[in-house]
DNA sequence: CATGAATGAGTATTCATTCAT
DNA sequence: AATGAATGAATACTCATTCAT
C-alpha cells in the first residue's frame, strides 16, 4: 500500500479534508450510526487507524462538519446581503434565497446541520460545542431580525417582533425544505422551488404593511 | 425476573402496548439504530427473546408506531374540524391547532412520523408501507386544500392554489415545530406556542383577501 | 385452540405417531440441528410444550426414529427372504432388493438410519442405545452371512469369509445408494437402479464359483 | 490474550491455515451447524472477530475446505497412477488405494467432501461452487472410466459400460469407507483395510474376463 | 393432559477503537 | 506519520426447554 506520509502541514490538512469530504457524503446518505469509520477511511484511501490521527472520535468529525456547515451558511447569507438592494423586502428575499441555495448546493451540509442530529444523542454531549453553535445561530438570526427592524422603521413591515419573526421565518423555510428531504415534494407533485416561492409570497404579504 | 405470563388476550395486548410504549420513548430519544431490542424489553420488564413473541422485527415495531402516529394525527384533525366554526379561517386555525396538539401531547409520535425516518434507510425498504403513509398524508392534505378552496369561494382567501398552499402550510408548521425539537426555541427565548401563533398570524394575513 | 386431550392410550399413541411422522420428514429434509421442535409441533398441530409430554428430548425422538427405521428394514428383509427361491444367489438378490426398497419407499428412514448421525455427536451419547442398534445390525448381517455360508456349502459361492463379505456387501450397497442421496446420480447420468444392477452383477460374478 | 499480529503475508497465510485446520477438525467432528465460529477461533487462539479478517463467512471456510479436499484427492489419485504399473488392474488397484489413503490420512477432509454436506442445505446454495465440484468429480470418474476402457480393449475386463462401472465403483468404495465412519467396522470386528481388500477382490473378479 | 408465554444461553456478525511495528 | 491486524463489547435474532395455569 501507499504509505504516503503527510509531512508538510498542508498535506496533513489535505488528508483531513479528504476524510471530511468522504464523511460528509456518507453521513448525509446513511446517517451517523450507519456510517462506519471504515467506510470513511476506505473512501479516503486511508487506513482505519489513520482516521484517529486526524480526529479523536467518530462524533468529532461529525461535529466538525456541523461547524463547517454553519460557516458556509453564514458566508452565503453575508454575500447575499451584500449583493441585495436596499429595501428590507429585498434583503429578506435575498436571505431566504441564500438559505435555499445552501439547501440546494450544500444539501449534505443541510442534512447534517439541520436534521441528522435529531436522532443522535451523542451529538449533544459536548455542551460547549452546542453552545457555540447556538451562539452562531443567534448571530445569523440577529442579522435577519435587524433587517426586519429596519423594515418596520421604514414602514415596509407591520409592527411585529423582529426576533420572533426571524425565528419563525427560519422555521418556516426549514420546514418547507425538509419536505423535500422527506420526499414529500415527490408525491404531492410540487417542486421545492414552487413551494418556497409560495411560502415567500404568503409570508411577505403577511408581514408587509398594507 | 417476573415470570408472570400474559394469559388472556387482553393481557397479551397489554404487553404489546407496553413494548410499544417503551419503544416509542426510546426511538424518540435515541433514534432507530441506537435503540436496541434489549433496551425496549428491559424497559418493559421482559426478556429480549420475548420481544419476538409480539413483533417479528425491530423495524416492525417501528413501522407500527408510525402507523399509530398517523392514526392519532388524523383523528385529532378530524375532531378539530368537527368542533370548529364554519369560517375557513377558523377551520384552518383548528387544523393548525390540532397539529400543534399532536406535537405537544404526542411529541414522541411526532418525532417518529415526521423526523426520524430521515436518517433511517431501513424504514423505506417496505415500499408498500411507504406508499400507504403517503396516501394517508395526501388525504389529510386534501382536507386542508378543500378548506382553502372553500375559503377562496367564500372570498375569505386570495386566489391561491389550494393544494400547493396546503403543502406549504404543512411544511411551515412542521418547520416551526422542529425548531422546538432542535432545542432552538430554548436559546432564542421563544416558546413554540408564541412562534406558531406568530406564524399563523403571518400566514393568515398572507392568504386573506384584503 | 383445540385443547383436545389424549385420554385413551391409543389417542396418546396417535399423537406420538403424529409427532414422529412430522419429525421424520423434517429431519430428513433439514438435518437434526436445523429441525426445530417448534417446526415439529407445528406440523403436528400441537403446542411446543406438548412435545415434551411425549419425548424427553429432541434427540430422543430422533433416536426413536432410528429404531423404527431398523425395524422396518429388518421386516423388509425377512419378508424378502420368505418370498425368495431357494438358491443362495436368489436370496442375496432378494436381500439387496429389500435394501433398495427400503431406500426407495422409506427414504426418510434411510437418511436417518444411515446418514444423518454422521455429523451429529449428540446421537452417540446414549451408549446403551448405540449398542442396541449395533446388535440389531449384527443380527441382520448374521442373516446375510448365513446365506453366504449356505451358498458356499452348496458350491454356489467361492470360499470367502461369510461375515466379512456380508459387511462388505452392506457397505457397497449403501455406498451406491448414497450416491443418489448426494445427487451424484444426477450429474453422472445414471439412475440408482442401473447402478445397483451393475453392482450386483459385478458382485455376484465376483463371489460365484466359476 | 496473545496480541501477536500477523504482519508479513506469510504470517497471515499461516493464521488462515491455523483457522482452516481448526475448522476442519471441528466440522468433521460436529458437523457444520454445531461448529461455531467461536469454537474455531478459540482453537486458533484468536478472537471471534478475527475470523472475519480471514474469511467472509462461516460457510466460506467450509466451502474452502471442500475445495481443498478435492484438490488433495485429485493429487493423490494422479500420483498413484504415475507410480502404478501398466496393467489396467494395477491401475484400478492404485486408484482404489489412493482413495483409501485419502480416507485414512485425510479422514476429516473425507468427512467434509463426501458426507457432511448431506445434512447441510446452506452448502448447496452456492450453485456455481456445486457445479465446479461436480465437474471435478466427473473428471476423476473419467480417468477411472478410461482405465476400464483400456482394460476392456486389452481383454483384461469384460465388456462393461466404463463410466457406469466407474461410478458404481466409486459408490462401493465410498460405502465401505463410510462403514468406518459409522463405527460399523468396530462392532463387526473387521478393519477397513480388510473390507476394502475383500471388496476389491470381489469386484476385480467380477469384472475380469475369465 | 395441554398450552401459550417466557427465557437463558447461545449464534453469526459488526464496528469503534487500539496498538505493535 | 501510517497501517494492518486484532479485539471487546455489542446486537438482532433463535431455540430447546420450562412452567403457571
Position with higher pLDDT, D186 vs A63: A63
CB contact under 8 A, D164 and C190: yes
Residue D104 has pLDDT above 80, yes or no: yes
In the predicted model, what is the mean pLDDT of residues A183-189?
86
CB contact under 8 A, C182 and D117: yes
- The CATH number of domain A1-55 is 1.10.1740.10: no
* Percentage above 90 pLDDT, chain D: 74
- Rounded Cα gap, residues A137 and B175, in angstroms: 16
Cβ–Cβ contact D199 with C under 8 A = yes
Q: Is the CB of A205 under 7 A from strand F?
A: no
Average confidence score pLDDT of chain D: 90
Q: Is the CB of A11 under 7 A from strand F?
A: yes
A104 CA to F1 C1' distance (Å): 38
Residue A27 has pLDDT above 60, yes or no: yes
Backbone angles phi, psi at A13, to 5 degrees: -65, -40
Q: What is the pLDDT of residue C187?
A: 87
Q: Which residue is nearest to nucleotide E4 (CA to C1')?
A: B7
Q: Is the CB of D138 under 7 A from strand F?
A: no
Q: What is the pLDDT of residue C3?
A: 47
How far is the CA of A139 from the CAs of A172, C39, C125, in angstroms?
18, 65, 76
Instruction: Give the H or E element holding residue C177.
Output: helix C162-181
* Subunits with 3+ C-beta pairs closer than 8 A to D: C
CB contact under 8 A, B207 and A202: yes
Q: What positions of strand F are covered by protein, i.e. any atom < 7 Å from a CB?
A: 1-21
Q: What is the pLDDT of residue C2?
A: 44
* Percentage above 90 pLDDT, chain B: 74
In sequence order, the β-bridge partners of residue A208 are A157
- pLDDT range class, residue B33, cuts 50, 70, 90: very high
Q: What is the pLDDT of residue C114?
A: 85
Q: Is the CB of D46 under 7 A from strand F?
A: yes
C54 CA to E5 C1' distance (Å): 20
Least confident segment among A99-103, C94-98, D81-85, D204-208: D81-85
Q: Which residue is nearest to nucleotide F5 (CA to C1')?
A: D5
Q: In 10 A of CB B80, how many CB atoms?
A: 19
Give residues 64-103 of chain C lying near strand F (Cβ < 7 A): none
In the predicted model, what is the mean pLDDT of residues C72-101?
92
Residue B209 has pLDDT above 90, yes or no: no
**Cβ–Cβ under 8 Å, residues A175 and A195:** no
Task: For C26, name the nearest residue in chain D, comparing CA atoms only.
Answer: D119
Furthest-apart CA pair in chain B: how many Å?
68
Q: What is the pLDDT of residue B8?
A: 67
- Rounded Cα gap, residues D116 and C42, in angstroms: 27
Q: Which value, in Å, is the radius of gyration of the alpha carbons in chain A? A: 20
Of the candidates D33, D194, D201, the beta carbon closest to that of C34 is on D33
Q: What is the pLDDT of residue C183?
A: 82
Q: What is the pLDDT of residue D8?
A: 67
Domains of chain B, by residue range, sit at: 1-55, 58-207
Residue C101 has pLDDT above 80, yes or no: yes
In the predicted model, what is the mean pLDDT of residues A135-139?
92
Nucleotide in closest CA–C1' contact with C48 = E3
Q: What is the pLDDT of residue B1?
A: 37
Looking at the domain A58-207, which fold is it? Tetracycline Repressor; domain 2 (1.10.357)
Q: Chain D interface, mutation test: which of C69, C175, C187, most D Cβ atoms within 10 Å?
A: C175
Q: Which value, in Å, is the radius of gyration of the alpha carbons in chain C? A: 20
Q: Which three cell numbers stand for residue A130?
A: 452546542
Average confidence score pLDDT of chain B: 91
- Rounded Cα gap, residues B93 and B153, in angstroms: 18
Q: What is the pLDDT of residue D7?
A: 60
In the predicted model, what is the mean pLDDT of residues B51-66?
95
In the predicted model, what is the mean pLDDT of residues D67-88?
91
CB contact under 8 A, B198 and A115: no
Q: What is the pLDDT of residue D9?
A: 67
In the predicted model, what is the mean pLDDT of residues D137-165?
94
Of the candidates A167, A185, A187, the beta carbon closest to that of B138 is on A187
**Cβ–Cβ under 8 Å, residues D178 and C171:** yes
Position with higher pLDDT, C1 vs A127: A127
What letter does residue D161 receive in the DSSP assignment? -
Residues 28-67 of A with CB under 8 A from B: 30-34
Q: Which residues contact A141 (CB under 8 A, 6 or more apart)?
A: A163, A166, A167, A170, B188
Residues of D in contact with C142 (CB under 8 A): none
Residues of B in contact with A210 (CB under 8 A): 210
Q: What angle do CA C25, C26, C29 make, to 5 degrees?
A: 85
B146-157: per-residue pLDDT in tens?
A: 999 999 999 999
**Cβ–Cβ under 8 Å, residues C31 and D120:** yes
Cβ–Cβ contact A105 with B under 8 A = no
Of the candidates D119, D165, D172, the beta carbon closest to that of C172 is on D172
Region of residue D36 (left: phi > 0; alpha: psi -120 to 50; beta: else): beta
In the predicted model, what is the mean pLDDT of residues A11-21?
91
Residue A200 has pLDDT above 70, yes or no: yes
In the predicted model, what is the mean pLDDT of residues A137-165?
94
CB contact under 8 A, C176 and D179: no
Q: Chain B interface, mutation test: which of A175, A184, A196, A209, most B Cβ atoms within 10 Å?
A: A175
C113-164: per-residue pLDDT in tens?
A: 988 777 788 888 888 888 898 999 999 999 999 999 999 999 999 999 999 9
Nucleotide in closest CA–C1' contact with C41 = E3
In the predicted model, what is the mean pLDDT of residues B86-111?
93
Q: Chain D interface, mutation test: which of C124, C202, C207, most D Cβ atoms within 10 Å?
A: C202
How far is the CA of A201 from the CAs of A92, A147, B117, B203, B207, in angstroms?
12, 18, 30, 10, 9
Q: Which residue is nearest to nucleotide F1 (CA to C1')?
A: A5
Residues of D in contact with C194 (CB under 8 A): 164
Q: Is the CB of B2 under 7 A from strand F?
A: no
Amino acid at each position: 500500500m501507499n504509505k504516503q506520509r503527510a509531512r508538510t502541514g498542508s498535506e496533513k490538512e489535505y488528508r483531513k479534508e479528504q476524510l471530511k469530504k468522504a464523511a460528509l457524503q456518507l453521513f448525509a446518505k446513511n446517517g451517523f450510526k450507519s456510517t462506519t469509520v471504515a467506510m470513511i477511511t476506505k473512501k479516503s484511501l486511508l487506513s482505519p487507524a489513520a482516521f484517529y490521527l486526524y480526529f479523536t472520535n467518530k462524533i468529532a468529525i461529525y461535529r466538525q462538519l456541523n461547524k463547517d456547515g454553519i460557516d458556509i451558511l453564514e458566508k452565503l447569507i453575508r454575500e447575499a446581503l451584500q449583493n441585495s438592494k436596499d429595501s428590507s423586502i429585498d434583503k429578506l428575499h435575498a436571505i431566504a434565497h441564500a438559505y435555499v441555495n445552501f439547501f440546494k448546493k450544500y444539501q449534505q451540509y443541510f442534512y447534517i446541520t439541520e436534521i441528522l442530529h435529531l436522532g443522535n444523542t451523542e451529538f449533544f454531549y459536548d455542551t460547549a460545542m452546542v453552545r457555540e453553535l447556538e451562539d452562531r445561530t443567534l448571530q445569523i438570526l440577529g442579522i435577519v431580525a435587524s433587517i426586519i427592524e429596519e423594515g418596520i422603521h421604514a414602514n415596509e413591515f407591520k409592527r411585529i417582533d423582529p426576533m420572533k419573526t426571524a425565528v419563525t421565518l427560519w422555521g418556516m423555510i426549514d420546514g418547507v425544505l425538509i419536505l423535500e428531504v422527506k420526499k414529500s415534494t415527490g408525491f404531492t407533485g410540487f417542486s421545492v422551488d414552487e413551494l418556497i416561492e409560495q411560502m415567500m409570497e404568503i409570508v411577505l404579504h403577511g408581514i408587509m404593511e398594507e
